[in-house]
Structure 1
Amino acid sequence: MADQQSPDVTAAVAERRPRYLAEIAAGVERFFEPRRADCPWCGSDRLSVRLRTTDLLQHKPGRFILEQCGECAHIFQNPRLNGDGLEFYYRDIYDGLGEAKMNSMFEASARGYRSRAEMISPHHTPVCWLDVGMGHGHFCREAKEVHPDTVFDGLDISAGVELAQERGWVRKAYRGDFVDRSVDLAGEYDVISMFHYLEHTADPRAEVAAAAAALPPGGYLLIELPDPECRWNRLVGRYWMPWLQPQHLNMIPLRNLRRAAIDSGLTPVAEQRSEAHESSDLVAALYLLLASKFSDDDRPWHEAPPSAARKRLCTVVWLLAVPALLVAMLIDKAVAPIGRDRGMSNAYRFLATKPG
């Protein structure tokens, strides 16, 4: 169900519509690389389709396939979006038209941000911390409460980095690709974090290797990722929110990330599963299901704004769905204390250090 749009948003949608419709008319199949026949993680050709889905968050056109490797269990988008495809599907999700909604989602995760920051406390007192894939900088703001003497900087490809710097949540904001910038940043940060970042990247192992090279001896790398071994993704199928197609290019099992860190010269220090869990799998799945059928958002990739009749129908459906959403939320909360230690944690954290 859409919020009441402001005149500025309505105007922005109308302004963007011709470009989106022209791109769609040219065919979205051009946004994909050729399908690969081997696993990008281990090279095995034992591949099978794990998921077929659509864009359930923005509802842009296109169909997406996730395949899983029979050797290492790595899950990856295949065929994968190319550069033009990434630009098309990322546009207006984290900034632009989607900035306000994403900012609200980031604001709701303050407790999780502090839990991430606390993971390093038993092992190290951070001095200078770089958050890679920082989004709008909400983690850095909350982590400063946990580590008040630490300097926080951030890096991202989106315009959110400038917003974070304007708000004073980071000292420095770097905009660009981490692997490209990592050589210039080498030795400057004793902690580098990547929270829900690697799954968005084309080559996660190169990102880990770049972080390991940039850390000084005794530095720490802290990572959080959606857990593809979570049983919730079997229970709710394509409506499991962490699939997040088409933005998530890779879903990395913990053992694979651990191996990549070791291969990059890092020593594993700690791992967390239950602490990283967000109790929202069922309610988020129900939301995505309803939104895929009964959305009245005016989006520029649709040919026209929703009709008055469509808006009335969606309003009625969402009002009727409120009790079901509340029940789903209660089930998530009730299952979490038991399920997250029994293979139902939807995320994991990994901490490693560079010997020195």
Structure 2
Amino acid sequence: MTCPVCSAALEERRIGSSPILYCPSCTAHVTHPSLRRGDDASFYAKDYTLTQTVRSSTERHRYFRYPEYYKLLGELSALQPPPGRWLDIGCDHGFFIDEVRRNGYDVAGVEPSQRARAYARHIGLDVEADVANVQGRWSVISMWHVLEHIGEPRAMIDRCIELLEPGGILCIRVPDFASAWRHVFGARWIWYQPGVHLVHYTDRALRQLVESSGLTVELVRRQHPNTLLTRRSYGLSTTVFRRYASLPSPSSRDRIARLYQDVTGAEIFIVARKRQTSS
């Protein structure tokens, strides 16, 4: 079996009792075929949404993520200012691109989950089930914690390049498989999910994937998406929705899961630009 990032031969290793394939050339890791359950598109269509993995998907989720959304918007709008067209692949319930729309962009999304897609359409967003159905050229394409779910990432990057206008930017966030927390927790790390995460990236592997596709990397950063500000926002939104919308408080289990993700969740953030002369 060869590496989906660089096509080098893979070596078999283990994380705890779990087999995993490792690329000594680009440092990507690939989920062993025996552990996969996210290869089937119907799994994402019916059973999986991003927010489902840690907490229930409600409007409360939208509000407590505001600090994260506006940090991303501030940084990316400086690189590619509005007006423009913004496509979010894996948009979940559409909370992020709804904020993008409020900030001067024409937006659309791609979301395989039927339930999440229906919600996004309910709030007035144009959302397709598959990136193959997307038309036109886009100023910005974002993929937040999507690429790790794709067994053939190069094909997805190539499709994004087709959809980008010359000078447009591709923005990707994925779990950081080289993070200290991943090494500490091993197979128990919160973002090691071999059933649905098919390719596991280091910053070196992700950069190689993007650059070898012909894009120019403008920013690459290892970071923790959950900060003190997002934790405060989570607490405030929980209080407001409990008091004024009669929603139940998160369970103790949910609070612990939230804290665990805040502390141990580490990701890679990369922004790359399509050349002005590209077709």
TM-score (norm 1): 0.60
Query: What's 1:270 paired with?
Result: 219
CA distance in 1, matches of 2:30, 2:61: 25
- Give matches, 1:8-19, under 5 Å: none
Q: 1:228–1:251: 8 Å Cα contact kept in structure 2?
A: yes
1:216 corresponds to 2:171: no
1:227 corresponds to 2:176: yes
CA distance in 1, matches of 2:111, 2:24: 33
1:42 corresponds to 2:2: no
CA distance in 2, matches of 1:85, 1:103: 26
SS across alignment from 1:219? strand
CA distance in 1, matches of 2:173, 2:14: 22
Query: What's 1:348 paired with?
Result: 268
Q: 2:55–2:254: 8 Å Cα contact kept in structure 1?
A: no
- Give matches, 1:1-356, under 5 Å: 37-51=1-15, 65-79=19-33, 81=36, 87=42, 91-94=46-49, 101-103=56-58, 106-107=61-62, 108-126=64-82, 127-145=84-102, 148-159=103-114, 160-168=116-124, 170=125, 172-176=126-130, 178=131, 180-181=132-133, 185-187=135-137, 189-274=138-223, 276-278=224-226, 325=256, 329=259, 346-356=266-276
Q: Once the two structures are superposed, what CA deviation does each residue of 1:61-88 show, in whole Å capped at 9, x if it has no partner?
A: xxx6432222221111111637775645
CA distance in 1, matches of 2:128, 2:120: 11
SS across alignment from 2:220? strand
- Aligned-residue offset at 1:226: 0.7
Query: What's 1:4 paired with?
Result: none
Q: Once the two structures are superposed, what CA deviation does each residue of 1:203-239 show, in whole Å capped at 9, x if it has no partner?
A: 1111111111211111111111111110101112222
- Aligned-residue offset at 1:134: 0.7
Look at both structures and tell me which one has the larger radius of gyration over its CA atoms: 1
CA distance in 1, matches of 2:254, 2:80: 45
- Aligned-residue offset at 1:114: 2.2
Structure 2: which amino acid aligns with 1:138?
F
- Aligned-residue offset at 1:105: 8.3
Q: 1:156–1:174: 8 Å Cα contact kept in structure 2?
A: yes
- Aligned-residue offset at 1:250: 0.8
Q: How many residue pairs end up in the alignment? A: 249
SS across alignment from 2:56? helix
CA distance in 2, matches of 1:75, 1:116: 27
SS across alignment from 1:246? coil
Q: 1:195–1:225: 8 Å Cα contact kept in structure 2?
A: yes
More strand by share: 2
- Alignment gaps of 5+ in structure 1: 1-36, 54-63, 281-317, 337-343
CA distance in 1, matches of 2:129, 2:254: 40
TM-score (norm 2): 0.75
Q: 1:277–1:348: 8 Å Cα contact kept in structure 2?
A: no
SS across alignment from 2:156? helix
Q: 1:92–1:98: 8 Å Cα contact kept in structure 2?
A: no
CA distance in 1, matches of 2:94, 2:170: 18
Structure 2: which amino acid aligns with 1:140?
I
- Alignment gaps of 5+ in structure 2: 229-250
Q: State the structure with bigger RCO (CA 8 A, min sep 6), 1 or 2.
A: 2
- Aligned-residue offset at 1:196: 0.5
Query: Alignment RMSD, CA only?
Result: 3.5
SS across alignment from 1:217? strand
Q: 1:52–1:66: 8 Å Cα contact kept in structure 2?
A: no
